[in-house]
Amino acid sequence: MTGLVARIEAATPSGRDRAVDALRALAILGVVGGHWLVTALVADSGTVRGASPLTAMPHLTPVSWVFQTLAVFFLVGGMVATGSWASARKHGVPYGRWVGGRLARLFRPVAAVLVVWTLAAAAMLAAGVGESTVRALGKLVWSPLWFLLVFAVLTALTPLVARLHPLWPLVVVLHVDLVRLGLGGPHELGWVNVVAGWLVPYCLGALVARGGLRGRTSRWALLLGGATASAALVLWAGYP
């Protein structure tokens, strides 16, 4: 193990933080684990469809809380993108080149998945597999990737939101949910929170990149306050 760590350290560029990479990996593993927990393939009358194992094992539902790690991905993304944009400005790199490079790195693996599953879907259809089965399998592959589109939008907006305090998008989230859930407002209003909600951890990461939340006290307050608020929202505010 010591030798492996030494090789990783030697291969790490001087400007790269492996702790940040580890947080990213932890976040994505949580996403994968969470989807495994809530997704199963069920054979039904010659077709395959998706279903949630939690409908048959509801006692495992609290375990899904452990896998709510996507906010860590957005927090790290906001921190890294803010630092990267500051460095790009310092060295005179234009915005188009900067954002193009970041989005290319983000979507290059997605392109590989698209090619592989397009060929797989074509092969299954050619072999006589039913369209509903192919659609169900494709949905299992593609639906978990929605967050990359939101992340790409926030990355592109980094020059505008890098100095935005996370309390501002949090206020938007609270008001949208108050109107939508508490006052019986239109359900479509929830789409606003698809961006505003993920702006909270993204802007929190930007705040860290700017030197905020340095003290241990503020970080403990954030952790304990967030855990308490999450429990209160589920237990008393009607969140699922």
| Residue keyed to tokens 């949090």 | 170
Rounded to whole angstroms, how far apart are CA atoms 233 and 68?
15
Whether 181 is covered by a domain: the verdict is yes
pLDDT in tens, the chain (240 residues): 788 878 877 877 777 788 888 899 999 999 888 888 888 888 877 778 878 888 888 888 888 888 889 999 999 999 999 999 999 999 999 999 999 999 999 999 999 999 999 999 999 999 988 888 888 888 888 888 888 999 999 999 999 998 899 999 999 999 999 998 888 889 888 899 988 999 999 999 999 998 887 778 888 998 899 889 988 988 888 887
Report if residue 74 sits inside a domain: yes
Could you give the CA distance from residue 174 to residue 106 in angstroms, rounded to a whole number?
A: 30
Q: What is the pLDDT of residue 12?
A: 78
Residues 6+ apart with CB under 8 A from 121: 134, 137, 138
Burial class of residue 148 in the structure, from the number of CB atoms within 10 Å of its CB (0-12 exposed, 13-18 middle, 19+ buried): middle
Does the residue 94 lie in any domain? Answer: yes
Residue 234 forms part of a structural domain: no
Instruction: Name the residue type at position 141.
Output: V
Structural domain contains residue 128: yes
Q: Find residue 40's DSSP bridge partners.
A: 51
Question: Residue 96: its pLDDT value, please?
Answer: 93
Distances in Å between the Cα of 233 and the Cα atoms of 56, 148, 175, 179, 236 are 25, 26, 14, 16, 6
- Which pTM value belongs to this model? 0.86
What's phi and psi for 2, nearest 5 deg?
A: -60, -40
Asked if the structure places residue 176 within a domain, the reply is yes
Which domain covers residue 158, as residue numbers? 12-209
Structure confidence by residue, pLDDT tens digits, 36-94: 888 888 887 777 887 888 888 888 888 888 888 999 999 999 999 999 999 999 999 99
In a domain, 178, yes or no: yes
Count of domains in the chain?
1
Q: Decide if 219 is inside a domain.
A: no
H/E element holding 47?
strand 47-51
CA distance 238 to 93: 47
**Residue 98 main-chain phi, psi, to 5 deg:** -65, -55
